[in-house]
């Protein structure tokens, strides 16, 4: 009987054999690569679509879908026209009594497509949705926190929203001075003394580096504006807790404000967890979000206010998310620059003295190494850089409060007394004093003095949001541009605002007129649309061109 093998066969081999195998494998792979190169077959890139962080994502997708439907209709219309021409030619050659049979199915197809498109209702205008969500937050809240940017507190107040809160019943309004570490302490104290005469005001500095819903985040290179310690959290929680005890039941706290003032960051700081989506880009919060702070207090996050197009160009540039595209970067940044102290801007950006905004952007582009092809300075890139720094959380600038205090027109003494009832104002004042001491503020010499435009008018009613003109829609289908899908609407409103409010508009030096675009007749536009359709290779909307 044969004895069984107790050991497995060895896999050892001579070095000569192993190296020979490796060489053969390398040659085989080289051969495959060479053949693939000859074929010229390239791997198709995956369409990533619109990122979630992109502003007005829903509007972009809706407009892309509508554009695709429009292109389908145009193709079918062209197909119908071609069939008609073919039938005419046939009639001339043969018997003119013959009925065009081929046209009927195309007609039916066209009508079906049209009916299908009509049956599919387009998504609602995002601005109207924001107004609806804002109204829901105000109705559901017992206390409303209006978040203000400490660099321009007056410019972050909206009289229309404050009036709506007053009219909605027994609701309390509290002002929160966020980003208080970006202004000098003297200026912060002056603003606190000015605002607390009207409404309870809390000094706050939100923390922007928090853990992500209980998960640890990899340590990345720290941004210069990231603040790890939250200041003013205890004071705000004590204020809300004291009011809840006086109120006697569970309270809902709504957080409202203009874009990029730090509404979601405040909620994350109070919860000590990254629950709400935050970022540098404006208008990230699109829907109402409920966050439970504890058993007695619930916080509600809200979308930002919609800025009225009748505001000054500087206000539109600072408070409107799409302003950099609608107003064009150079004009938007020039409007901001016109209201800043020239000497301090020169020192802050370390550029030579300038006579106009164009000269400043040229110097800034050369200083930061922003160049176009041929070595010319990228003026538009420099304007975008200034705009992003001014609206972001890194640049320190400040405004002086008005010299004389006057009560806001939508308030009176009784309303002010009612708003302060239920809050422990003495304890709030002590907490604010501690917060101001704890904040590491920039020096007065290193900050830029900015001239505030005053209260910013907003839109709270859906009917006040201007509708899109058909001519602009036609241009959108023709261009298929990135941000023009959303922003042509606001551009038309801005032009109307410039015509109607010419008496109250700021001086011409503060805002340069937009360049006039060449406009064609409607007939020529339609003909261009019909001519352009066959040139396009694919009907699908290319989302990769939306954001560079």
Q: Tell me: the pLDDT tens digits for 289-341? A: 888 888 899 999 888 888 888 888 888 888 876 644 555 788 888 989 999 99
Q: What pLDDT is attached to residue 148?
A: 93
Q: Which residue has the higher pLDDT, 67 or 4?
A: 67
Pairing state of beta strands 306-307 and 458-459? antiparallel
Span 179-205, pLDDT tens digits: 999 999 999 999 999 999 999 999 999
Alpha-carbon gap, residue 185 to 202, rounded angstroms? 15
**Secondary structure (3-state) at 253:** strand
Residue at token pair 């800025």: 307
In percent, the amount of the chain with pLDDT more than 70 equals: 72
Q: What pLDDT is attached to residue 146?
A: 93
> Any residues with CB less than 8 A from the CB of 530 and at least 6 apart, and which?
74, 77, 78
Per-residue pLDDT, averaged over 77-82, amounts to 90
Q: Please give the C-alpha separations between residue 470 and each of 113, 142, 460, 461, 482, in angstroms, as whole numbers.
A: 21, 42, 24, 23, 19
Q: Which two three-digit tokens encode residue 154?
A: 């007056």
Alpha-carbon gap, residue 275 to 301, rounded angstroms? 11
Q: What pLDDT is attached to residue 460?
A: 83
Q: What pLDDT is attached to residue 543?
A: 41
Q: What pLDDT is attached to residue 222?
A: 42
First and final CA of the chain: distance in angstroms? 78
**Secondary structure (3-state) at 74:** helix
Name the band, by pLDDT with cuts 50, 70 and 90, for residue 19.
Answer: very high
Record the pTM.
0.61
Name the band, by pLDDT with cuts 50, 70 and 90, for residue 106.
Answer: very low
Span 238-276, pLDDT tens digits: 999 999 998 888 999 999 999 888 888 899 888 888 888
Q: How many residues does the chain have?
A: 548
Share the mean pLDDT of the chain: 76
């Amino acid at each position: 009987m044969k004895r069984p093998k107790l050991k497995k066969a060895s896999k050892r081999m001579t070095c000569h054999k192993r190296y020979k195998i490796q060489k053969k494998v390398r040659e085989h792979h080289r051969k495959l690569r060479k053949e693939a190169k000859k074929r010229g077959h390239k791997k198709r890139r995956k369409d990533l679509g619109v990122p979630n962080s992109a502003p007005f994502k829903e509007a972009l997708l809706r407009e892309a879908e509508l554009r695709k439907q429009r292109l389908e209709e145009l193709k079918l219309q062209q197909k119908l026209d071609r069939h008609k021409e073919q039938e005419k030619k046939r009639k001339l050659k043969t018997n003119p009594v013959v009925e065009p049979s081929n046209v009927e199915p195309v007609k039916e197809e066209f009508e079906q497509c049209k009916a299908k498109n009509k049956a599919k209702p387009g998504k609602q205008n995002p601005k109207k949705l924001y107004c609806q969500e804002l109204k829901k937050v105000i109705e559901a809240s017992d206390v409303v926190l209006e978040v203000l940017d400490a660099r321009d507190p007056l410019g972050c107040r909206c009289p229309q929203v404050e009036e709506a809160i007053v009219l909605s019943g027994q609701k309390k309004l509290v002002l929160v001075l966020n980003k208080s570490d970006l202004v000098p302490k003297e200026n912060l104290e002056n603003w606190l003394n000015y605002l607390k005469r009207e409404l309870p005001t809390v000094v706050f500095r939100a923390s922007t580096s928090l853990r992500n819903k209980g998960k640890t985040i990899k340590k990345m290179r720290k941004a210069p504006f990231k603040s790890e310690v939250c200041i003013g959290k205890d004071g705000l929680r004590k204020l809300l807790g004291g009011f809840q005890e006086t109120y006697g039941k569970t309270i809902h706290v709504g957080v409202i404000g203009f874009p990029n003032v730090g509404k979601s960051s405040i909620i994350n700081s109070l919860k000590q967890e990254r629950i709400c989506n935050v970022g540098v880009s404006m208008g990230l919060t699109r829907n109402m979000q409920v966050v439970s702070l504890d058993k007695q207090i619930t916080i509600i996050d809200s979308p930002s206010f919609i800025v009225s197009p009748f505001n000054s160009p500087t206000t539109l540039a600072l408070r409107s998310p799409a302003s950099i595209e609608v107003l064009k970067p150079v004009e938007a940044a020039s409007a901001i620059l016109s209201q800043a102290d020239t000497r301090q801007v020169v020192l802050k950006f370390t550029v030579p003295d300038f006579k106009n905004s164009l000269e400043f952007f040229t110097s800034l582009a050369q200083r930061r190494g922003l160049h176009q092809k041929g070595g010319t300075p990228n003026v538009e890139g420099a304007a975008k850089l200034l705009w992003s720094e001014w609206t972001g959380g890194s640049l320190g600038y400040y405004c002086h409060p008005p010299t004389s205090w006057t009560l806001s027109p939508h308030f009176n003494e009784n309303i002010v007394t009612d708003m302060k009832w239920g809050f422990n104002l003495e304890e709030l004042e002590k907490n604010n004093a501690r917060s101001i001491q704890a904040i590491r503020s920039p020096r007065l010499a290193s900050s830029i003095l900015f001239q505030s435009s005053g209260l910013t008018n907003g839109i709270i009613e859906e009917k006040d949001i201007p509708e899109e003109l058909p001519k602009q829609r036609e241009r959108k289908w023709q261009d298929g541009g990135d941000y023009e899908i959303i922003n042509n609407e606001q551009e038309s409103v801005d032009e109307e605002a410039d015509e109607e409010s010419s008496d109250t508009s700021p001086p011409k030096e503060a805002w340069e007129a937009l360049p006039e675009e060449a406009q064609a007749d409607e007939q020529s536009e339609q003909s261009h649309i019909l001519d352009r359709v066959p040139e396009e290779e694919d009907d699908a909307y290319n989302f990769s061109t939306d954001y560079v």
